[in-house]
A and B are shown apart, each in its own frame.
Chain A
Amino acid sequence: MNRRDALSRVALLLGGTVIGGEVFLSGCTSADKKLGQSLDFTPDDIAFLDEVAETIIPRTDTPGAKDAKVGQFMTVMVKDCYDEKNQKIFLDGMTKLNDASKKKFNGNGFMKITPEQRKQLLTELDKEQKDYAKNKKKEDDTHYFSQMKQLTLLGFFTSEPGATKALRYVAVPGRFDACVPYKKGDKAWAL
């Protein structure tokens, strides 16, 4: 019926992906705690993903990604809903993101930089994934940041805080009103 729910909408927005995607195995210094070593995500992995997600969807007057435990959700989705190829892109992507942070901010990994710096970095990565997606062929890899952003939006807006506080959600509407007034600032329906 071509009905668009929130989920498919997000997938539609970010479903496209990216070019070039050779995986550069970047040499990270041995002193670092390694991120995304396996699908058995560590508490450090989840904390890292939580901060990435929070930078994408921060807490404002409504809850943010961390309140919605999006880091944890990402690990479940990567483990259960990604194929092997995309799992590897995601896991490698965690290190890549951290390395990009170090390169930009004097050797400081993502967890060490300030919220402003995180936003600056992820804004650049978002631009990178968008440019990549524009020229990407269907069979090319997805950009890791596209995965992270997509999972953040999906995880947040289908979470309880995301759906009920950032958006509006009624589990059992009980009726259908075809036309109701809308004023600027009213929240969108979660579903």
Chain B
Amino acid sequence: MPGDSLNVNVNNKATVQNTYDAIVVGSGISGGWAAKELCEKGLKTLVLERGRNVEHIKDYSGTEKNMWELAHHMKVTEEDKKNSPIQSKCYAFNEVSKKFFVNDIDNPYTQVKRFDWIRGYHVGGRSLMWGRQSYRWSDIDFEANAKDGYGVDWPVRYKDLAPWYSYVEKFAGINGSKEGLPQLPDGEFLPAMEMNCLEKHVAARIKESYNDRVMIIGRSANHTRQVGDRGPCQYRNRCHEGCPFGGYFSSNSATLPAATKTGNLTLRPYSIVLDVIYDKDKKKATGVRILDSETMKTEEYYAKVVFLNASTLGTAQILLQSVSDAFPNGLGNTSGQVGHNLMDHHYGVGAHGEFDGFADQYFYGRRPNGIYIPRFRNISEKTKRTDYVRGFGYQGGANRGKPNTADGIGVELKEQMTEPGPWNMGIAAWGEHLPDYRNKATLNKDKKDKWGLPTLDIDCEYRENEKAMRKDMIASAAEMLEKAGLKNISTFDSDPAPGFCIHEMGTARMGKDPKTSVLNGFNQMHEVKNVFITDGACMASSACQNPSLTYMALTARAVDHAVTELKKGNI
């Protein structure tokens, strides 16, 4: 009948319009990489971002201002705290950068136990405000689960990732020094930043005092040399406001422009993904359903392959919402592992001291990077601990700041405050958090967000192993600073809740066995072969290194595999 054929035509037209080769959900650090790689391999790619667009440089307004040109000289207001009680606690949240953090009232979740979930819902996600520390993992990390039995064995080893680390480092632009350490493999580095005089002194004293550890300059995604049209870094140290010089790697500065250049990218902001559409006959995902957060209309988009890069908890939520006859507990969740094994690094613990000396030394510029003391516990038989498994690394730095007292008033106070005080140095540990099934996020259908969508209940904590490790993290920090000759050493433990380190991972882990894991060794869902997950959700353990670089490498590798499989007709 004519009517039928008309209907078919209309449907086809809509379907064709909404059909791409690939869909990427999320535009943060891993979504940006997925978009770049898919587009460069010739796939018409739709990137769905739940928040607004943020264009490189153009939308970084405020960062060009001096502090006195801002009403509160960069400080957080009571209104900020009211709108974003959780976000406003973050170190990177200030009068300029606050536009990159979510409104906590509009985006609620339930803290079954205290969990500070720091989020940026906009194009670029948290790649705009990230800490930029970039470290490779080693086989000490990839073999850890298999060796001590916590979590499931990683289906990859360092040799699988090494070429992909190189690949992403060359494009991203990571600075660092080659050190030849087994626990922290070297990469393809831009010139390293330099340690200041006290840091050099402390590094030398640590080398003299210990044979199991070193202090090196941090490795960060700031461009010490120009990378393409980005940078170089101008040493303002205002990175988390977005850099008008393109001085560091972000989706906005790097991967999304590269994807755009191919002509294959379609970016759709204001698109909250509700679920992945699954075809049980084909045993494949056919696309995703979104809610347009501006029009409140739902729409479907279709593709041959879907990459979920909505963040560790965002991706878990989408999977849990994607229920069907075939997957009543969520897409690809026959294992029951989706949402579980949530990890974050435990940190905010260390020591600080002052140094008598180098009174005739100072520095110029604001280095957006610190020092790093790579892991030295449980990396060999000799360094084995009996009180905990796994390990931690330290980040920190020396500075010559203002004096330590602000005594009196008047001319004396002014003089005191306008000259630099003594040198001081602080180091703080970042520790591994063991995968534990009990640490989890589950869907709460009763508590709805601003858009009427379900929310997450987050139930996660640091347990015995982390607590035992923290004692050593404090003690070792103080001991090292003491051996380095610092005085007035004080220790600190700010006891942050999980989430606050902003390294959440693990909710759809990789593994060899579909019964106990969600993804295979190529970040491909065991049960849905054309869905790939390469954000923090995929991680089978947390190591102690900052994880973003590993997400980048896993993403580039997964896209390569996905496109190869597509071409072979396997997915």
Which residues on A are within 8 Å of B, measured CB to CB?
1-4, 6-7, 9-10, 13-14, 55-58, 60, 62, 64, 73, 76-77, 80-83, 119, 122-123, 126, 149, 153-155, 157-160, 163, 166-167, 169-189, 191
Whether A178 lies near B363 (C-beta < 8 A) is yes
- Say which residue of B74, B350, B413 sits within 8 Å of A56 (CB atoms): B413
| B317 sits at the interface (CB 8 A) | no
Beyond contacts A13-B402, A179-B362, A187-B418: 5 other A-B pairs, Cβ-Cβ < 8 A, are: A2-B350, A2-B395, A178-B194, A179-B363, A191-B366
| B261 sits at the interface (CB 8 A) | no
Task: From known contacts A4-B399, A178-B196, infer whether A77 and B75 are also in contact, taking CB-CB under 8 Å.
Answer: yes
Whether A1 lies near B397 (C-beta < 8 A) is yes
A98 to B321, CA, bound (A): 63
A7 to B95, CA, bound (A): 13
A4 to B402, CA, bound (A): 9
Task: From known contacts A73-B73, A178-B197, A180-B361, infer whether A2 and B418 are also in contact, taking CB-CB under 8 Å.
Answer: no
Q: How far is the CB of A86 from chain B (nearest CB, A)?
A: 10
A64 to B414, CA, bound (A): 9
Can you identify 9 A-B contacts, CB atoms within 8 angstroms?
Answer: A4-B399, A4-B401, A55-B409, A153-B417, A163-B66, A163-B67, A176-B364, A180-B361, A188-B421
Whether A188 lies near B406 (C-beta < 8 A) is no
Convert B386-408 into 0s and 1s, putting 1 for each residue whose CB lies closer than 8 angstroms to a CB of A: 00000000011101011011101
Which B residues from 325 to 383 make CB contacts under 8 A with A? Answer: 350, 352, 359-367, 370
Whether B360 lies near A173 (C-beta < 8 A) is no
Which of under 10, 10 to 19, 20 to 34, or 35 or more describes the interface residues of B?
35 or more
Q: How far is the CB of B419 from chain A (nearest CB, A)?
A: 6
A182 to B421, CA, bound (A): 12
Q: How far is the CB of B65 from chain A (nearest CB, A)?
A: 9
- Chain A residues positioned under 8 Å from B364 (CB to CB): 170, 173, 175-177, 180
Whether B234 lies near A172 (C-beta < 8 A) is yes
A82 to B77, CA, bound (A): 8
A89 to B405, CA, bound (A): 24
- Say which residue of A81, A174, A179 sits within 8 Å of B76 (CB atoms): A81
| B78 sits at the interface (CB 8 A) | yes
- Chain B residues positioned under 8 Å from A159 (CB to CB): 68, 73
* Closest partner residue, chain B, to A80 (CB atom): B77
- Say which residue of B73, B131, B414 sits within 8 Å of A7 (CB atoms): B73
Q: How far is the CB of B88 from chain A (nearest CB, A)?
A: 11
* Closest partner residue, chain B, to A11 (CB atom): B75
- Chain A residues positioned under 8 Å from B401 (CB to CB): 4, 6, 9, 188
- Say which residue of B71, B193, B350, B363 sits within 8 Å of A180 (CB atoms): B363
Task: From known contacts A83-B78, A175-B365, A176-B363, infer whether A160 and B68 are also in contact, taking CB-CB under 8 Å.
Answer: yes
Q: How far is the CB of B107 from chain A (nearest CB, A)?
A: 23
